[in-house]
Amino acid sequence: MSLTICQDTGRALFETIDGVNIPVDYSFAAINDFVHCQDATYEELQYCCLGMAIEIEKLNKQLKHYG
């Protein structure tokens, strides 16, 4: 595993696991930077979408628990 750091902000953008880049977190800023990265591949964008879907599902479960 390795991290890719943004030159401008010094913030970690994504981690590479087994040759696949995955956003470090699913905040708007992190996803925006990841999607607009010049070397983001179609497969990496698919992984990103799947990861976001998982996070949304977790949030929905938390809302049902507290609601």
**Using one digit for the tens of pLDDT, what is the confidence trace for 12-22?**
777 888 887 78
Tens of pLDDT, residue by residue over 20-45, are 778 888 888 888 888 887 778 888 88
Distance between CA atoms of 57 and 1, rounded to whole angstroms?
26
Helix, strand, coil abundance in the chain, percent, nearest 5: 50, 20, 30
- How is the chain split into domains, by residue range? 2-66
Q: pTM of the entire structure?
A: 0.67
Q: What Cα–Cα distance (Å) separates residue 29 from each residue in 12, 63, 64, 67? A: 11, 23, 27, 28
